[in-house]
Chain A
Amino acid sequence: MAGALNLLGLLGLTAVQVAGFAFQFGLGELPCPLCLLQRVAFAMVAFGFLLNVRYGAQAMHYGIILLGALFGMSVAGRQVLLHIVPGSGAYGSAVLGMHFYTWAFLLFGATILATAVLLLLPGEAPVRRGRWAAVAVYVAIAVTAANAATTFAECGPIECPDDPVGYWLLTVLRGG
């Protein structure tokens, strides 16, 4: 059961990043620097689940998951605190009453809770090298690589503005 849950965790974190792309390209909501770091944290957690899927559950893999989730909570929590005072504004649109960084904070907390449950489960998570595991891993790698490409297009080689309004690459291509 733990093996299937690790695979599910990898798929779930990949789906969260795909949802981020949907809002970025579907609704034109550009991710801010802290938003991008939250995506980085999702990829860090995904790496831990990937290790569990590929090599079986090990303490180090869960440690990587927890490190990624704690980093993500720190970044998302920082962004929540930036906007927590009434009248201090918000970044992006709200989904079901909460902004993305609030959802991210909760998701990283849920990841820590899920990791605790996985560690409590008896038995070992088997090594998975089947077709579905390969598909999940390659999709996760592709989504992470796509994040690299879209981040470069938005921010360029160095740093994103705090409140991005367009893609750096488009500006360069237009000769701006």
Chain B
Amino acid sequence: MVTLIFMLLAAAMLLAWRDRKAAGVVVFAVAAVLAAAWFNHHVTDPLQLGL
């Protein structure tokens, strides 16, 4: 999954640099949503914080 996110971000950068900014921003948005979802997937271990 993280591989896909990196690929999307690289594609977004390339699109934006080559005058296709709107497409780049859309691809970035997809990558950002996937990254947030993947972070949520990994937030499983309880924090050992107590007072």
Binding site for B on A (CB under 8 A): 33-34, 36-37, 39-41, 43-44, 46-47, 50-51, 54-55, 60, 64, 67-68, 71, 74-75, 78, 81-82, 84-85, 88, 134, 137-138, 140-141, 144-145, 147-148, 151-152, 155, 157-160
Question: CA–CA, A123 to B35, complex, Å?
Answer: 34
* A residues less than 8 Å from B28 (CB atoms): 44, 47, 64
Q: Are A151 and B3 in contact (CB under 8 A)?
A: yes
Q: Which 7 A-B pairs have the closest CB atoms?
A: A148-B6, A144-B10, A152-B3, A145-B10, A147-B6, A43-B9, A148-B7
Q: Are B3 and A148 in contact (CB under 8 A)?
A: yes
Tell me how many residue pairs across A and B have CB atoms closer than 8 Å.
97
Q: Which residue of A lies closest to B41 (CB)?
A: A159
Binding site for A on B (CB under 8 A): 1-7, 9-10, 12-14, 16-17, 21, 24-25, 28, 31-32, 35-36, 38-39, 42-43, 45, 47-49
* A residues less than 8 Å from B2 (CB atoms): 33, 36-37, 40, 151, 155, 160
Q: Report A112 CB to chain B, min CB distance, Å.
A: 17
Tell me the interface secondary structure of chain B in the complex: helix
Question: CA–CA, A160 to B12, complex, Å?
Answer: 24
29 CB-based A-B contacts, threshold 8 Å: A33-B2, A37-B39, A40-B6, A40-B31, A44-B31, A44-B32, A47-B13, A47-B16, A54-B16, A55-B16, A55-B21, A60-B25, A68-B32, A71-B32, A71-B35, A71-B39, A81-B49, A82-B47, A85-B48, A88-B48, A137-B13, A141-B10, A141-B17, A144-B9, A144-B10, A148-B3, A148-B6, A148-B10, A160-B2
